[in-house]
Each structure stands twice: as structure tokens, then as C-alpha cells.
């Protein structure tokens, strides 16, 4: 071994010609040694491969190297996961492997930390034979930037990348720092994450949205306060101006005023445990058909068949019928008008295990035969208590008019709370009024 002394460096060369640089550190008499980077010739090749053929490099010790750089170009695509960079602690068992699929005529560069004593590269070609192939592996002593991308470049799942994990925190009004969470879809729950679109799309975990709307199709002054639902229709077999609620899960029957109706009807309500149930029942004309699950509440039903209903459909506790409609009208819990093919009822009950947040409610007028005023009430009954008026407004029927109230801070209702809209005509002798209304509720799991 020879040593040549120069003004600012000493070069040490062994008999094999390998060099080691020993440099003087600026401002001191210390020495700095540099482990050189080099091409791993046993893991580099330009020999082309036939279809399905494999190049297998030779294990090389990499303990003195901080990073492995592999670049590859081929005019033929690799097999799936055809590029494999492997590491081993004994040069025999290749326990640590990263794999990539290489597209044809697309140069790619990858970088790897040296996780074990030995490294090798294995490349398996795809079905097409190569006419051009360049695979080079470089061992570097220190970390280098893995890859470069322009902002406009398309990102591929096969690109070289570094994994970074982090926890984002935010300071709440109390001054505490809390972690920012994600919804079931992996989206960060930040401002606007719980808006109506996100809830309707199912992106907010444990949260659903209910839009209730109804119509009182024909009532007059003499009817006083009526519920906004399909039963508020003067002179009909299903007339029931004030909605009646069941005290037990006795709602178990369905039928139509037309013997021709044999459609499938979807019914949505609450069972004896106040849990949401969606079920279907097939009509048997004017003859009672049984529901599969008896309900304590029912707040929506619709024709889920491809044939329009001919008659009015009703849902009720089992009772005597007259032409398909309960003789005792107080038993009626649902009315489907064939003009609508579904219920129009501004009535809802909060299911068990959920809390309801009332965002807004509205009322509108159409169809009255004279100018009049209408009082519309939002009424709420907590479980085991009485109905209370939570909000009140008035409409004038001097032409069609409407009203909507949006709560800045939503009204909050516990499970088993009944919610409904009612309307009352104030004009003496007024008749043939038609008023619609509805409300929006967000349900959040308790």
C-alpha cells in the first residue's frame, strides 16, 4: 500500500487499486474519511430478456451504505410486480422485499434504505421480449433525495415515495389541543364536513338525514286545528283531521280502497323497541294484508311497484273494514293518495339510540277558495309527556304564500320524541283549504 502526501489531502491506495480519501477538516487537524458510492455491477445489467425471463442479481453487502438507488428502463413492460429489490440478513433468506410494476418505455427511479446486511435486485420481464433494457443499481454512503416530481406531473401508484405519518391537532375554544378526526370515508372532519351533502352521501359516520313533508289536502274553519297529513281530507272514508298515535306496537295491517290494487308497498316506521324498520307488504285489494313486523310508529310508505295505485292505501292496527278502509277512522296511521303514490305526512318520531337535530321547517298554502289566514304550529311531544308548541307562524292566502324558519342553533330532540306540524284556518266559514309543510332533521347516533 502506498501513501502519497499532497498539500490538502492524503490518498491511500491498496494493491487492488481501491481508493480511500482522507481529507483534512477545515480549521483543525482532524481527518475525515469518505466511503465512496459505486455501481453495484452484480445488480446492474443491459442484457435484454425474453418474454417471462428473469434477471437475478447477486447479494452484495451494504452495511456501509445509507441508500440504494435503482433505475430501470425497458421497451417492454415488466411482469406484475416485476421489479423486486430484496434485503437479507444472511445472503440466503430474502425477508424484506419491495416490488414495482414497470411500464414499457417509461424510465423509473427508486430509492431504498439499507434495512439488512445484503441486497440484491430481481427483475422479471412481461410477456413481450425486450429489445432495450437498462437496469442500474448504485450504492450511496449518505441519504439523497429519493425522486423529483414537477407539480404538473401525473402521480402513479408505482412512483417512488416516502411514507409519512402524522397526527393533526387543533386548539378548541377551551384552549385544549385535540386530535382532528376522520369520518368513515377517511375524510378529515373539518369545517363543512357535516353539511347536508356530506351527510346524505354517507360520509359522516353515525349521522343520517331525514326530510319530512306533508299536505292537509281539504279542511275548513269548522275542523279547527288539523295535522298536516293525508288524513286531513273532508268528506272521505279516510278523513281523520287530528292524527292518532299508537301507545303500543299494534300497527300491523294494510289495505286499499280499490280491489284492483295488488302492488308491493314499502313501509318505514319504528318497532316495539323504537328501532327503525323498513319492510314491504303486498296489497290484497280491499282485504287486509298483515305486516311482517308490527309497529308503534309509522311515518312513511310508498308504492315500490311498477304499477300505479288505483285506490287510497291505508296502514292501521287490525280492525273492521268498510270497502278496504277502517270503519273506525281513528285507527288509520297512514294514507297514500294515488295521485302521489306515497304518504305526505309532516310527522316523525325520533328512533331509539339517536338524537334528532331539527334544522328547519316550512309551510305553504295552495288551493283555498277564499282569502284567509292560517296558523301553523311546530309541535313536539317528549316521551311520556304532552304535545307542546315549539314554534308558531302565520300564512295569508291572499294568493299562494309560504314560510320557512331555519334554526341557527338546531332544536335538539331525544329518542322517542314525536314531532308534527299542524294548521288552523282563522277565517269564519272558510272551506276547501290545502296547506303543505315539512321539516329537516339530522339524526346522530347516541
Which CATH number does the domain housing residue 194 bear?
2.60.120
Q: Which of 87, 109, 140 is the last residue of a domain?
A: 140
Per-residue pLDDT, 23 = 53
Per-residue pLDDT, 1 = 46
Residue 157 lies in a domain: no
Q: Tell me: do 311 and 433 sit in the same domain.
A: no
Rounded-to-integer distance, Cα 370 and Cα 220, Å: 11
Q: Tell me: do 128 and 43 sit in the same domain.
A: yes
Q: What is the total count of domains within the chain? A: 3
Per-residue pLDDT, 199 = 73
Residue 176 lies in a domain: no
Rounded-to-integer distance, Cα 62 and Cα 55, Å: 20
Side-chain-side CA neighbours of residue 267 (13 Å): 34
Q: Tell me: do 222 and 300 sit in the same domain.
A: no
Which domain covers residue 394, as residue numbers?
Answer: 184-243+345-446
Residue 146 lies in a domain: no
CATH of the domain at 78: 2.60.120.380
Side-chain-side CA neighbours of residue 101 (13 Å): 8
CA 169 to chain centre: 23
Q: Which of 278, 307, 339 is the last residue of a domain?
A: 339
Question: Which residue stretches of the chain have pLDDT < 70?
Answer: 1-35, 145-150, 160, 163, 183-195, 203, 366-372, 397-400
Per-residue pLDDT, 102 = 95
Contact 263, 307 (CB under 8 A): yes
Residue 432: CB partners within 8 Å, gap ≥ 6? 218, 220, 367, 368, 369
Rounded-to-integer distance, Cα 338 and Cα 102, Å: 62
Q: Tell me: do 314 and 253 sit in the same domain.
A: yes
Q: Tell me: do 363 and 237 sit in the same domain.
A: yes
Per-residue pLDDT, 259 = 97
Amino acid at each position: 500500500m502506498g501513501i502519497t502526501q499532497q498539500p490538502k489531502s492524503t490518498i491511500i491506495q491498496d494493491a487492488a487499486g481501491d481508493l480511500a480519501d482522507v481529507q483534512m477538516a477545515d480549521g483543525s487537524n482532524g481527518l475525515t474519511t469518505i466511503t465512496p458510492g459505486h455501481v453495484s455491477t452484480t445488480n446492474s445489467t443491459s442484457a435484454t430478456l425474453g418474454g417471462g425471463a428473469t434477471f437475478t442479481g447477486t447479494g452484495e453487502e451494504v452495511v456501509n451504505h445509507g441508500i440504494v438507488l435503482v433505475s430501470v428502463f425497458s421497451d417492454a413492460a415488466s411482469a406484475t410486480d416485476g421489479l423486486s429489490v430484496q434485503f437479507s440478513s444472511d445472503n440466503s433468506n430474502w425477508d424484506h422485499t419491495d416490488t414495482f410494476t414497470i411500464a414499457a418505455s417509461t424510465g423509473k427511479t427508486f430509492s431504498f434504505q439499507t434495512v439488512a446486511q445484503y441486497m440484491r435486485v430481481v427483475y422479471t420481464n412481461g410477456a413481450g421480449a425486450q429489445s432495450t433494457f437498462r437496469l442500474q443499481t448504485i450504492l450511496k454512503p449518505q441519504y439523497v433525495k429519493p425522486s423529483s416530481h414537477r407539480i404538473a406531473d401525473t402521480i402513479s401508484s408505482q412512483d417512488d415515495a416516502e411514507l409519512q405519518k402524522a397526527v393533526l391537532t387543533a386548539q378548541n375554544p377551551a384552549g385544549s389541543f385535540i386530535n382532528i378526526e376522520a369520518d368513515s370515508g377517511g375524510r378529515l372532519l373539518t369545517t363543512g364536513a357535516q353539511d347536508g351533502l356530506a351527510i346524505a352521501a354517507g360520509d359522516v359516520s353515525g349521522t343520517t338525514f331525514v326530510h319530512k313533508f306533508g299536505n292537509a289536502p281539504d279542511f275548513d274553519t269548522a275542523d279547527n286545528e288539523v295535522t298536516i297529513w293525508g288524513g286531513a281530507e273532508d268528506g272521505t272514508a279516510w278523513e281523520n283531521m287530528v292524527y292518532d298515535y299508537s301507545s303500543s306496537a299494534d300497527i300491523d295491517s294494510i289495505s286499499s280502497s280499490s280491489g284492483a290494487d295488488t302492488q308491493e308497498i314499502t313501509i318505514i316506521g319504528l318497532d316495539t323497541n323504537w328501532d327503525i324498520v323498513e319492510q314491504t307488504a303486498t296489497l290484497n285489494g280491499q282485504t287486509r294484508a298483515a305486516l311482517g313486523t308490527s309497529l308503534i310508529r309509522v311515518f312513511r310508505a310508498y308504492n315500490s311497484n311498477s304499477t300505479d295505485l288505483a285506490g287510497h292505501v291505508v296502514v292501521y292496527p287490525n280492525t273492521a273494514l268498510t270497502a278496504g278502509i277502517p270503519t273506525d277512522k281513528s285507527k288509520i296511521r297512514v294514507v297514500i293518495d294515488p295521485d302521489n303514490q306515497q304518504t305526505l305526512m309532516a310527522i316523525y318520531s325520533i328512533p331509539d339510540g339517536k338524537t334528532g337535530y331539527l334544522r328547519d321547517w316550512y309551510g305553504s298554502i295552495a288551493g283555498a277558495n277564499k282569502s284567509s289566514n292560517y296558523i301553523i304550529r311546530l309541535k313536539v311531544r317528549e316521551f311520556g309527556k304532552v304535545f307542546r308548541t315549539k314554534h308558531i307562524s302565520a300564512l295569508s292566502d291572499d294568493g299562494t304564500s309560504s314560510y320557512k324558519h331555519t334554526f341557527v342553533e338546531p332544536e335538539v330532540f331525544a329518542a322517542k320524541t314525536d314531532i308534527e306540524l299542524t294548521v288552523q284556518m282563522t277565517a269564519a266559514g272558510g272551506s276547501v283549504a290545502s296547506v303543505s309543510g315539512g321539516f329537516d332533521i339530522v339524526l346522530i347516533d347516541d
